[in-house]
Amino acid sequence: MTIKERYEDAKVMYAGVGVDVDKAMEDAGKIAVSMHCWQGDDVTGFDRKGPLSGGIQTTGNYPYRARTPQELFEDIEKVLSFVPGKHHKLNLHASYAIFDEGEWADRNKLEPRHFAKWVELAKKNNLGLDFNPTLFSHPLAEEATLSSENEEIRKFWIEHCVASIRISEYLATETGQPCLMNIWIPDGFKDIPADRKGPRARLKDSLDQIIATPYDHSKVYIAVESKVFGIGMESMTVGSHEFYMNYAAKNNLLCLLDTGHFHPTENVADKLSSMLLFNDKMALHVSRPVRWDSDHVVLFNDDLRELAEEIVRNGADRIFIGMDYFDASINRVSAWTNGMRNMEKALLYAELTPNKEMADLQEKRNFTKLMSLREEVKTLPFGAVWDYYCEKNGVPTENEWFADCEKYEKDVLAKRV
Ligand code: RNT
Ligand code: ZN
pLDDT tens readout for residues 4-63: 999 999 999 999 999 999 999 999 999 999 999 999 999 999 999 888 999 898 999 999
Question: Cα–Cα distance between 392 and 386 in angstroms, integer?
Answer: 10
Pairing of strands 220-225, 33-36: unpaired
Which conformational region is residue 32 in: left (phi greater than 0), alpha (psi within -120 to 50 degrees), or beta? beta
Give yes or no for a contact between 47 and 343, defined as CB atoms under 8 angstroms apart: no
Considering only CA atoms, which of 254, 251, 241, 264 is closest in space to residue 284? 254
CATH code given to domain 30-352: 3.20.20.150
User: Which residue's CA is the closest to the ligand 1 atom numbered 2?
Assistant: 184
Ligand 1 contact via 36 beta carbon (within 6 Å): no
233 CB-near residues (< 8 Å, 6+ apart): 55, 186, 187, 188, 189, 190
Helix (H) or strand (E) holding 99: none
Question: Cα–Cα distance between 297 and 333 in angstroms, integer?
Answer: 11
Ligand 1 contact via 225 beta carbon (within 6 Å): yes
Considering only CA atoms, which of 16, 39, 118 is closest in space to residue 340? 39
C-alpha 322 – ligand 2 centre gap (Å): 9
Residue 227 is among the residues annotated as catalytic for this protein: yes
From 258, 303, 309, 327, the catalytic residue: 258
Quickly state the pLDDT bin for 224 (edges 50, 70, 90): very high
Q: Tell me, what's the pLDDT at 50?
A: 85
Cα torsion angle, 242, 248, 251, 252, sign: negative
Q: Tell me, what's the pLDDT at 51?
A: 86
Provide the H-helix boundaries in 31-134: 69-80, 116-124
Segment 385-391 mean pLDDT: 98
Ligand 1 contact via 41 beta carbon (within 6 Å): no
Residue 225 is among the residues annotated as catalytic for this protein: yes
C-alpha 324 – ligand 1 centre gap (Å): 7
User: Which residue's CA is the closest to the ligand 1 atom numbered 7?
Assistant: 56
Predicted TM-score of the model (pTM): 0.97
Considering only CA atoms, which of 291, 274, 197 is closest in space to residue 238? 197
From 78, 89, 114, 285, the catalytic residue: 285
Residue 295 is among the residues annotated as catalytic for this protein: yes
* Range of lowest pLDDT (27-31, 86-90, 115-119, 343-347): 86-90
Residue 113 backbone dihedrals phi, psi, to 5 degrees: -60, -20
Give yes or no for a contact between 222 and 253, defined as CB atoms under 8 angstroms apart: yes
Q: Tell me, what's the pLDDT at 202?
A: 99
On average, the pLDDT of the chain sits at 97
C-alpha 198 – ligand 1 centre gap (Å): 24
Segment 148-166 mean pLDDT: 98
User: Which residue's CA is the closest to the ligand 1 atom numbered 5?
Assistant: 324
Segment 163-168 mean pLDDT: 99
Would the pLDDT of 288 be above 90? yes
Would the pLDDT of 87 be above 90? no
Partners of 219 in the β-ladder: none
From 130, 293, 351, 387, the catalytic residue: 293
Ligand 1 contact via 272 beta carbon (within 6 Å): no
Give yes or no for a contact between 82 and 395, defined as CB atoms under 8 angstroms apart: yes
Residue 411 is among the residues annotated as catalytic for this protein: no
Mutation probe of ligand 1 site: the residue of 258, 287, 293, 297 with most atoms within 8 A of C-beta: 258
Residue 293 is among the residues annotated as catalytic for this protein: yes
User: Which residue's CA is the closest to the ligand 1 atom numbered 10?
Assistant: 324
